[in-house]
Structure formats: C-alpha cells, structure tokens
Amino acid sequence: MTLEEARVRCIFESLVGSRLYGMHEEDSDYDYKGVFMAPDNYYFGMDHVNQVEQGETTLYELRRFLHLAGQNNPNILELLWIPEEHWKHVTVVWKTILESRDLLMSKKVKHTYSGYAFAQLRRIKTHKKYLLHPLTHEPTREEFGLPGHRDLSSETMNALLVIDPKCVKEEFVDLARREKNYSNAKREWDHYVVWQTNRNPARAALEEKYGYDVKHAAHLVRLMRQGQEALEMGNITVDRRGVDADELKAIRNGAWSYDKIIEYCDEMDRKLTDVYEKSSLQYSPDHKKIGELCHRLVNNIYGRAL
C-alpha cells in the first residue's frame, strides 16, 4: 500500500517531532504521523499492512496503532495528546478514539518512557566511547586466533559456553570463547561504521565540542519528564512550549555536562519508581475494551460484523 492510498483512508495526521515539542531549529524537518483505516479486504480477507511511510511521514493502520498505544509506546501514545493546533487532518473516527484514550494509558508508561530514555543513554555512552577511543580497523578472525572460516554454528557456540566445562574438551570451549569475542568485536565495528557514516555534520560538531551526543540527552530528559507527568496527571504534555522547551533546547546545545546527564538519569529513575507506586493509573491497558473499540470502529465504517 502506498502513502497516497493510505492518506485517502486517513483518520488522523499531525505534526510530530522537534517542531511539535518546541525543540526545533530553523532548519529542522517537518515530521508527520497519523492513523488510517485500511480497505475492508484488510479486515475481512488475507491482506495485511502495519504502516506505510514515505519521506518524513508515517501512517499506522488502525489495529497496529491501537496495539502499540496499548503497549504505551511513547512515539505512538503521544499522538493521543497532541494539541489541535498541530493537527493536519482529523475525522470523527479519531475523535471517538480520543474519547476512549484512557483505556490505553496505564502504569506501563513508567517502563516504556524510562526504557526509551535509557536507550538514549546507552547511545550517549556508546558514542562517547567512540569519541574517546575511535576504532581503527575492522577486526579479523586471525586476530582472535581463528581459522579463516567459521566451524561452529551460533547454537553450538552458545551451548559450549553454558554447559558444564567437565562435559566437553577445553579446546572446544576456548574456540567458542574466541568465536564469541570475534562476533562481539565485529558487531561493535559494524555499529561504529554506521555511526560514522550516518552522523549529521552539525550534530557531529556538537558531539566533538561537548564530548557526548547532546541531542540524545535532550530527548532523554524529555522522555523522563513526560513519563513522570503521565504517571502523576494521567496525560502527556507533548508540546513543551511554555513548559521546558527552552531548557530542552539549551540541553541540546550543550548546557548540561555529561556527568549531569548521568546523575539526572539516576535521580529520575528513582523518582519514577516512587510516582509509579502512587499513580492512580490502571496497572495495565484494558485490552478487552481496546479490542471492542477497534471492533466498533471497523464495524461502523464497513457496516458488517466481524
């Protein structure tokens, strides 16, 4: 399915990303996300589609959207809380979903928002390591004392590393260890090459200047704060203008040190654990009612029972 075909059936589309958060620069992209209802053969036949994307626009099929929102995926859940001024297209179907958005919100936001934030932190730490200790060459099998071709399958290698050493010859265990170490080094090299190849020049300059990825840091702080707000207030403040957009932009421009980011993560992790216990949100999404909502929406559009 093409983006044009999905747009014909779009029930919601909105501005997202840095321009939605109020964290953008003059040259920032205009990113859009939305939701569409697929043709009836996708609901009553064998055809299947999760999402379509082209350029800076991504549209999610209704069931896929409800599933991800029910999982409290931060990039998806936020669509339910975007202020109207940022909407590009909306229908009565989307407004029906908004009336039921509390079905989708749960204490799971603690784990998803902090999880996404810590994913940013892992990238920050990895990139800082690359800056301090850049890799110089692709690892070779010879460097790890390995033959030119691999004799062990991944399953065999992993098995040799966990079984009782008394049950197998040490030379086989040693070979498995070297294969594992080589695989890890090769994976690290591949990640390093991707990082080097895909770095935006302006972003790379900021990394060089401040010693870590300040853009990841700004999004890390935003995610932690949105997770706390969701647990405490039951909603998500997506547009950060008038809240902390200026501070987040300052962080992206190097206002916080690397050490402060690490300390902030630890502090917010403890705080989220505390507000999680006190939150009045349901412990998990009501998947039965979410399914009933999906059934009702599809049935209303196509006029038949599933």
pLDDT value at 304 more than 60: no
Lowest mean pLDDT among 45-49, 68-72, 83-87: 45-49
Residue 212's identity, in one-letter code, is Y
Q: State pLDDT tens for residues 207-245.
A: 999 999 999 999 999 999 999 999 999 999 999 999 999
Q: How confident is the model at residue 306 (pLDDT cuts 50, 70, 90)?
A: very low
pLDDT value at 303 more than 70: no
Instruction: Give pTM, 2 decimals.
Output: 0.88
Q: State pLDDT tens for residues 257-270.
A: 999 999 999 999 99
Smallest Cα–Cα separation from 79: which of 27, 17, 29?
Answer: 17
Domains in the chain, ordered, with CATH? Answer: 3-106+283-302 (3.30.460), 109-134+200-278 (no CATH), 142-198 (no CATH)
Q: State pLDDT tens for residues 155-164.
A: 888 888 888 7
Distance CA 188, CA 22 (A): 34
Q: For residue 159, give the H/E element and its range.
A: helix 154-162
Q: How confident is the model at residue 175 (pLDDT cuts 50, 70, 90)?
A: confident
Q: How confident is the model at residue 55 (pLDDT cuts 50, 70, 90)?
A: very high
pLDDT value at 305 more than 60: no
Q: What are the two backbone dihedrals, phi and then psi, of residue 188, each rounded to the nearest 5 degrees?
A: -60, -40
